[in-house]
Amino acid sequence: MRTITQVAVLALIGGAGAAWHFYGDKVGLPPPLELLGMQVGSQQGGGRGGGAGGPVGVIVQPVRVAPVVERVESVGTVRAREAVTITSKVAGIVEQIRFTEGERVEMGTTLVQLDAAALRAELDQARAMLDDARNQLVRARQLQAGQTIAAQRLETLEALSRQSEGRVRQAEARLEELRVTAPFSGRVGLRQVSPGALIQPGTTITTLDDTARVRVEFSIPEVYLARIRVGSGVTARSSAYGTRRFQGTVAVIDTRIDPATRSIRVISEFDNSDEALRPGLFLTVELVLEERERALLVAEEAIDPVGDRAFVFVVRDGRARRQEVKLGLRLPGEVEVREGLNAGEPVVVRGVQRLRNDLPVRVVETLARPTS
């Protein structure tokens, strides 16, 4: 039984050795016996990175140059650029409803006409009194030319004419209040009143939204305050529209930071010619912080983090040079390097775990693209 166990162990070690021979040596993995805590042959005394056993096999990838866009993500709600609840200024009975729910109307369009019969009669009466006052004034001026009327009488008739003009304007203004109009161009909402209904001042008739352009309000952490500008690009998406993306710009940045959340409100504007974005719609928003046309990128597995610092191994003159780097944006499978590297430098992406500074290395493969 003991002999069978020994044979099985030897077979396992042999298989592992064969696998390491064909693959592990290329990527810098330690031999199987080292993994078991045993040092053999020329590997004795090597520590991390080996020793007298010759250069370590590594796989490298050149630092590549590519454009990157740094964004911050938030959530926001669509608001109409202009929005109002349509109400009446005066009490009255609804005589006519002149809009269709959901239709687009122009500024000044009559939406509702209240019963104006009594005011029309008052206006007619005021106009008749004005005509009479003007006729009396004309005759008085003719008589004044012949010096057959006192100046005081003429002044009285002139005042009466002005009073009559004021009554006409007042009646016209009251009559105009019975016509409810659209204060701006937009799309009307659902109707809340019916013909014949008696409404009071402030009674909701419908809503009106200008959605040709919409606003999206969202908040971002205060740490980004110095990096946002009016005019910065904004991308929005909604689960209602699948993969569709809406493009907008920052229109307003709040002048105050919320002390409770340490965030700042931002308002962006979007063209909404097709009116796909409805007021109240929930959106995921991405704000562009910075666009860099020539960013330096390395594979994520090339990074050797030590505390709050980061290092990579660059192959120079057949040796692995440990280089500290300053990291930037993280992308799928890649990391931006802001400082410490140059474009095209060969960076070790596999075999990093066996390296130390100035260790002789042998490049067994050069990758042209990210390894992930």
**92-97: strand order across its sheet:** 179-181, 110-114, 92-97, 198-199
Q: Which residues of the chain have pLDDT under 50?
A: 7, 9, 20-23, 25-28, 33-51, 371-372
d(CA 279, CA 212): 11
CA within 13 Å, CB half, 97: 15
Per-residue model confidence (pLDDT) at position 314: 92
Bridging pattern class, strands 359-366 and 56-62: parallel
Angle between helices 151-176 and 117-145 (to 10 degrees): 160
Collapse the DSSP code of 193 into the 3-class scheme (helix H, G, I; strand E, B; otherwise coil) and give the result. coil
CA distance between the termini of the chain: 46
Per-residue model confidence (pLDDT) at position 15: 55
Per-residue model confidence (pLDDT) at position 40: 43
d(CA 349, CA 27): 9
Per-residue model confidence (pLDDT) at position 70: 84
Domains of the chain: 2-67+294-366 (2.40.420.20), 72-80+208-291 (2.40.30.170), 116-177 (1.10.287.470)
CA within 13 Å, CB half, 337: 27
Question: What DSSP assignment string belongs to 87-117?
Answer: E-SS-EEEEEE---TT-EE-TT-EEEEE--H
Rounded to two decimals, the pTM is 0.59
Residue 110, judged by CB atoms within 10 A of its CB (0-12, 13-18, 19+), counts as middle
Beta bridge partners of 236: 246, 285
Per-residue model confidence (pLDDT) at position 243: 93
